[in-house]
Amino acid sequence: MDAIVNAGFTIANFTDTSGNPSASKVYRAARIILAQPDLVGYFGSGSGVASQEQYWSAYGLAKAFWELDLDIPAVIRLGGNTEDRAVDILHRTSKLLRAPVEGNRKSDTPAFIASRFAELVADAKGIKWKPHPPRVPKYVKDPSATMLPVTNGRAWIDRPQWRNIRAAVETHSGGLVIDRDGAPTAALPSEEFATKDSELLACDVECRLAGIEGFYLELDIPGLDKLIARNE
């Protein structure tokens, strides 16, 4: 926090998602933060010594940034276990967005990433964030789609495209979604499957990064739509 203030910025929202956060928790936090207007960038800096797997946070951020088609720069320090994988996720996601997203490792100091953030904000030439609803695939809520419930959300699969996307979904879901009689279905009992929201979020992101459209995880955030409408 000191580093970003020393770089000349005012913190619009201090959010702590420490304590081994799930991908879905980080996603929801990012969506709530980005419901605020007039942000000039998204800055995240961890301690650099986290013992939890950093790729879960990267997946949560990647999903939020894509859904909102981020057009302000983001600089994220994800130092700790599997930091290389986390940085790679953000790097690949950046290619799908209108603004740069940079991931950093524990070897990158807070002062360095704060200065890098300042450079990217300057390059953006005064662009300020305007909250808006997320983009959602057309097949979501379509009667032809398959819906699998998860905790406070739903996994949607484009059933007419299942034959074409089956291999990718089965792979990226870690076998949580499988084929049964030519249709997608959960590989686990419904109560157990419902707890796999973070794994399914990772599937959502990895399918998109691979250019595979047809799997989407919808996660509820009560009250957020009204907040966005008020801030648009």
Query: 133 in a domain, yes or no?
Result: no
- What beta strand segments (E) does 47-190 contain? 50-53, 74-77, 80-81, 101-104, 146-150, 153-157, 177-180, 183-186
Per-residue pLDDT, 51? 66
**Is the same domain home to 116 and 161?**
no
**Is the same domain home to 64 and 157?**
no
Per-residue pLDDT, 48? 56
Residue ranges in the chain modelled with pLDDT below 50: none
Structural element, H or E, at residue 218? strand 215-219
Q: Are 221 and 28 in contact (CB under 8 A)?
A: yes
Query: 63 in a domain, yes or no?
Result: yes
CA distance to 74, 101, 102, 209, per residue, from 97 (Å): 11, 8, 12, 12
**Is the same domain home to 80 and 163?**
no
Per-residue pLDDT, 17? 81
**Is the same domain home to 56 and 166?**
no
Residue with tokens 């300057």: 122
Closest CA to 52 of 11, 80, 30, 13: 80
Number of domains within the chain? 2
At 21, which CATH number? Answer: 3.40.50.261
Per-residue pLDDT, 49? 56
**Is the same domain home to 22 and 111?**
yes
**Is the same domain home to 87 and 11?**
yes
Rg (CA), the chain: 18
**Is the same domain home to 107 and 175?**
no
Query: 164 in a domain, yes or no?
Result: yes
**Is the same domain home to 90 and 195?**
no
Going by the DSSP 8-state scheme, the letter that residue 135 receives in this structure is P
Query: 232 in a domain, yes or no?
Result: no
Q: Hey, is 228 helix, strand or coil?
A: helix
CA distance to 14, 96, 204, per residue, from 29 (Å): 11, 21, 18
Per-residue pLDDT, 232? 76
**Residue numbers of the domain that contains 172:** 146-226
Half-sphere exposure of 28 (CA within 13 A, CB side): 18
CA-based torsion, 108, 109, 115, 117: positive or negative: positive
Query: 58 in a domain, yes or no?
Result: yes
Query: 138 in a domain, yes or no?
Result: no
d(CA 33, CA 187): 34
Per-residue pLDDT, 52? 83
**Is the same domain home to 212 and 102?**
no
Q: What is the pLDDT of residues 36-48, one digit of tens each?
A: 999 999 999 875 5
Neighbouring residues of 95: CB distance < 8 A, sequence distance ≥ 6 = none
Q: Are 72 and 41 in contact (CB under 8 A)?
A: yes
